[in-house]
Amino acid sequence: MLARVKQSLFQNTDQTCGYILWVPDYHCSGDVDSKYGTSGTDTVGANLFLWVSNDPYQQPYNFKNDNESKMSYGSLKGGFTAATQYSSAFRYPDPASALVKGSMVQDARTISACIAMTYTGQARLASGEVAFIEDLPLISLIEGADGKEAVSVNQLFQNSTKTARLGVNRLEIVSRPDENSHTFRDDIAAPIDCNITDLADFTTRLSQQGRTQSPGVFGFAWRGLSVDSATASAAITFELVKNIEWRPEPISGFTHAAPRTVSAVPQIQAAVAHLDRKKPGWSTRALRGLGHFAGRIGKEILTSAENTIIDAIRHPQQTLPYMAPLLLA
């Protein structure tokens, strides 16, 4: 059976940089308890991580040390929460976790996933830089950076091959499936095991599946946001959408359709290769909310390009039809 799930997240803190990173092939709730009972006393699986800070060089900790109150990566569950001296990234429930964790669903596999990023603050404060993280190696998420700590915002920018200015456009990034994306997984399966106990010197690490299958990570990183002095926050909305195929539990009462083979081999890699060849850059895009010319003028106005504004005043008959949507916004 097919299902489309969606989840919205709101970054409304006074932090100027951060990231959202997702492994969409998994459906983790980030909870200790699951439909199978307790999933572990020391660790819990997670596949969606959030981090905000005022320093793009700051690395989230992944070395738990009770003497210094350091946190390991994803040890705490929550939303976008301001970083402290020894804090780390938070884990967050996957959009499909509530469905897959329920009593009707046995397991599910991801067909496609997308993250949309929209700045919702004052237009005049729309500043900053965004990096598209298309296929980050899983191990790079929690180690491999300086001092074996987790990856920082600046390191994600160094890894990314595509960046954009934060502005009036809605930014979207689509996940790139691999040869293991067709695997059905329950809510217990996870790419990363997070330490959730008070054990000293204990780190978050890759799960067995994470080590053997090494799924890709995708998402956004941002830095240089302007903070609204009135609300002391920088407002960004993220919309996570995932299409899944799920199989019912035998006790659910749903009939289970027999699978029908349409190809002798999985077509995921062939489809991705076709897209890369025929439409390079298919996994990232910026959607213009206004027409191209109006959107361009809007950006110029918002970035105080005085020459363009003066030219618009001198030649209103040429620019007024395009500026009308901006005046009504």
Query: Tens digit of pLDDT for each residue in 36-48?
Result: 665 555 788 999 9
Read off the pLDDT of each residue in 57-61 and give the average, rounded to a whole number: 88
Query: Tens digit of pLDDT for each residue in 263-316?
Result: 656 667 777 777 778 777 777 777 655 434 434 444 444 444 444 444 545 555
Verdict on whether the full-model pTM lies above 0.85 = no
Distance CA 329, CA 325 (A): 6
Residue 327's pLDDT band, with cuts at 50, 70 and 90, is: very low
Q: What is the mean pLDDT of the chain?
A: 78
Give me the sheet containing 170-174, strands edge to edge: 2-13, 234-248, 105-119, 170-174, 284-287
Residue 235's pLDDT band, with cuts at 50, 70 and 90, is: confident
Distance CA 16, CA 82 (A): 10
Distance CA 51, CA 288 (A): 27
Query: Tens digit of pLDDT for each residue in 212-228?
Result: 988 989 999 999 988 77
Distance CA 286, CA 273 (A): 22
Domain ranges of the chain: 2-287, 291-329
| Residue found by looking up tokens 């919309």 in the block | 239
Residue 142's pLDDT band, with cuts at 50, 70 and 90, is: confident
Identify the helix (H) or strand (E) that includes residue 246.
Answer: strand 234-248
pLDDT at 95 over 70: yes
Please state, as a whole number, how many other Cβ atoms lie within 10 Å of the Cβ of residue 141.
28
- At 242 the pLDDT is 95
Cα 194 to chain centroid distance, Å, stands at 18
CATH architecture of 2-287: Sandwich (2.60)
- At 308 the pLDDT is 46
